[in-house]
Every structure is written in C-alpha cells, then in structure tokens.
Amino acid sequence: MINAPRGTNDILPPQSFKWNYIESKAKYIFDLYNYDEIRTPIFEYTELFQRGIGEETDIVEKEMYTFEDKSKRSITLRPEGTASVVRSFLENKIYGKAQPTKYYYIGPMFRYERPQSGRYRQFNQLGIEVFGSQDPRVDAEVIAVGMHYMDILGLEDLSLYINSIGCPKCRPKYLKRLKDYLNNNIDKLCEDCKRRIDKNPLRVLDCKNDRCQKVIDGAPKIIDYLCDECEVHFDNLKENLHNINIDFIIDPGLVRGLDYYTKTAFEVKYEGLGAQDTIFGGGRYDRLAEEIGKRDVPGIGFALGVERLLLTLKKQGIEIPIDKSVDIYLTTIGKKAEIASFKLLEEFRRRGIKAEIDYMGRSVGSQMKSADRMNATYTVIIGENELENKKATVRNMKSGKEQEIDIDNLVKSIEKMI
C-alpha cells in the first residue's frame, strides 16, 4: 500500500463540499471589494524565493521543496504566494496600467516541516495583494476584506493584532537598540534567543519562553522608534480601522517571519486553534518589488490558511450547508426496463435534469433506499407493467404520492414538475 506523502491530505466528499463553500464565499467577498483573480505557477526558480523571502528566514533555510529540473535549473515549489504575484506583476509590466492593482489568489503552497494540527507540507492559502498605493486606507481595506470574510462565514471570537515594523529608514536604529538591550540581558534568554540576537533579533520578540518573555516585556518597542513617515502611517491605519469599526489590539511583539515586510504587520488569531492559531496574517511590503525587479512598487496583502479556517469553523461548531440531492432516481425492474431507463437517464441529463440510476443490481427496495439516501425529489419506477402500458410510475418522495406518466412524454412532463 502506498500512502499519500507525509503532510499531504486527500480532500474527499463531503469535505470537498466545504472547500467549495468557503472558496465561493471568498470569491464573493474578493469581488465585492473589486479584487481579481491571478494564477501563477506552482513552482518558480529558486532565486525568486531566496531573494524575495530572504536568505535567513526559516522558510528559505530549511523548509523549501527545492530540486533540479532536467536542465539543471533549481526549481522550488512555492512556499507562499506573494513573491510569485509580485514577480508576475513586474514581469507582465502591470505597473504600466492604472493603479492600484488588486489581486487575489488561491491554491496550494509547500513547506517541508513536521506536520501538526493546522500545519501541513502541502497546504492551501487564499490571499490578496494590492500594488501601487501607499495610502494607509489600503492597509485598512486589506484587513477589512479578511474581517468581512470571517463575518460572513459566521466566525466569532477572533482577535486582530496589528503592529508597525518600520521601514529601512527607522528599523536599523531600532534594531541596534534592541540588540544592545538583548546583549545586556543575554544570560536571561533561552538558547534559541541567544542565537537570534545577531541573526534575527526581531524574532526574539516572538519567543514564547516564559523567561524570555520577562526580558521582552522590558525591551524597547519598535513603535517607539518609528520615523515620522512610519508613525503617521501607523496612526492613520488605526484611525481608518476605527472609522470602519474594526477592533484591534496593538501587539509590539508582532513581527512577521518573512524579511520583506515594512510598516504594517497584522495577524488574525483564534485562540481555540491550538499551537498554530493564526488564521490569516499579512502586512505591507514596500521593498519587495525592488528586491525582485529593481522597481519601486509598494504592496500590501494577506494570506489565509484554508486548513486553519476549516479547523476554526469546526471548533466553533459552524455547520456548512451541504444540500446534495438529485431530481430523479430511476428504479428499474428487469433487463428491458434497464435498457429503457438508461436511455431515459441520458435524456433527463441532456435536459439539465439531475438524474441517477442503480448500477449495482440492487433489489427494488434497495433502489428506493438509494433514492432516499440521495435525496431524490422523484423516483421513476419502470418495470414490465410500465413497459407494457408505456406509462412510468412516478413517485413523489416527500409525499409518497404516485402517478402514471406516459413514458414517451416522461422527460417533458417531469421537466414541468421540478
């Protein structure tokens, strides 16, 4: 027996109905905010992610599915969506069109990690990106899209955390202060954090270790070191969120794992999810296009983990409506009836009537049972009597009432009934 690779999942019915449902709701919301779909390749040249996401990030360091293709180019299965979308935006010279550009995407991402609840090697993200505007209202809109989506799905008790992580102008100054502070308290930090001081000091702020947390409480906060531009931007974002009635919590410890973020960073969490409790997260990345394509294009977006969304829906007991049914179930008795019914079956379908028949040689009782299980509106019964009289027995499965209908006009008659 060959199993699916570790960290991958089959999405079978009825689970696949749920996927359809949340995807269709997402598309509804995205369209409502005037975002259009973009589809980029599932693999890219490795350099794109190395440059875009950052060499020192965990993703690039140890989580990428990278391999050489037959021409020896290094290929990587996309670990996230933003780098590809930015690449596509630049490659197709979309910056030449009227801005801003608003895209959404949906699809699988790949990261080589140990799977656990809410974390898989192939997982699905659904996200949006806005290019070309630095207006803080755009930051607020991006957050609003996500929050609105949560609302129409009926999710509750979610927390929105926001922070500003500065820009190339103000962040270096802050990082220096932070490093100095951390070095002064180095003996109180865990081993991981000691290593992080030089490598990625912002990440220390994320540490869940209790002892580190005490050090972090006293650490300089980046929002106290923002340059004027970043501070105004952050204030504006807060005002805009208030303006559209979106509650938030300022979390100075919120730093995103990817290098390209500037200014706004945000995460939406559901505490009930367990260790991986972020449903969606994102932020502004005004440096990324420069990094990838030597062109100065501001951007902001978020990515949402579909599996985590489904987990949250389940934890909150939100039932996703699955209305599976067929219009007609054909019950047959005897070989001749089978042949006649099979012809009718296709005729029904050609007329746009959803119809099903038994292929398992079941008894009449079992065929009725199948019809019931499939939620059939009507069952058409054809046996020898019916063939002789050229009239089919049509049973209304709700009322149990039956009537005789000419087989020759059956499809047309039923078309009128449903």
Partner RNA sequence: GUGGGUAUAGCUCAGUUGGAUAGAGCGCAGGAUUGUGGCUCCUGAGGCCGUGGGUUCAAGACCCAUUACCCACCCCA
**Residues of span 328-387 touching RNA by CB under 7 A:** 333, 360, 362-366, 368-373, 379, 381-386
Q: Interface mask (CB under 7 A) for RNA, residues 243-262, using x and -?
A: ------------xxxx----
* 20 interacts with RNA by CB under 7 A: no
Give whole-number Cα distances, 101 to 71, 137, 264, in Å: 35, 14, 19
3-state secondary structure of 207: coil
Alpha helix positions (H), 248-383: 288-293, 306-315, 335-350, 364-373
* 220 interacts with RNA by CB under 7 A: no
* 198 interacts with RNA by CB under 7 A: no
Count of residues interacting with RNA (CB under 7 A): 72
The single residue among 280, 285, 348, 378 that binds RNA, judged by CB under 7 A, is: 280
Min dist. Cβ of residue 12 to RNA (A): 11
Q: Which residue from 173, 142, 149 is spatially nearest to 283, judged by alpha carbons?
A: 142
Q: Which is nearer to RNA, 192 or 346 (CB)?
A: 192
The single residue among 275, 323, 359, 416 that binds RNA, judged by CB under 7 A, is: 275
* 284 interacts with RNA by CB under 7 A: no
3-state secondary structure of 377: coil
Question: Whole-angstrom Cα distance, residue 162 to residue 409?
Answer: 65
Min dist. Cβ of residue 214 to RNA (A): 15
Question: Whole-angstrom Cα distance, residue 382 to residue 173?
Answer: 83
* 197 interacts with RNA by CB under 7 A: no
Give whole-number Cα distances, 410 to 118, 173, 371, 399, in Å: 51, 80, 18, 20
The total number of residues written for the chain in this structure = 418
* 6 interacts with RNA by CB under 7 A: yes
Min dist. Cβ of residue 24 to RNA (A): 20
Q: Which is nearer to RNA, 92 or 389 (CB)?
A: 389
Handedness of CA 25, 30, 33, 36 (dihedral sign): negative
Q: Which is nearer to RNA, 144 or 371 (CB)?
A: 371
Min dist. Cβ of residue 109 to RNA (A): 7
Residues 6+ apart with CB under 8 A from 159: 249, 268, 269, 270, 271
φ, ψ of residue 26 to 5 degrees: the values are -65, -45
Min dist. Cβ of residue 73 to RNA (A): 25
Contacts (CB under 7 A) with RNA, residues 128-187? none
Contact (Cβ atoms closer than 8 angstroms) between residue 133 and residue 193: no
Contacts (CB under 7 A) with RNA, residues 61-80? 80
3-state helix/strand/coil string of 78-92: CCCCHHHHHHHHHHC
Q: Which is nearer to RNA, 242 or 336 (CB)?
A: 336
* 402 interacts with RNA by CB under 7 A: yes
Tokens describing residue 107: 């699809």
Contacts (CB under 7 A) with RNA, residues 109-128? 111, 113-120, 123, 125
Contacts (CB under 7 A) with RNA, residues 295-314? 303-305, 307-308
* 267 interacts with RNA by CB under 7 A: yes
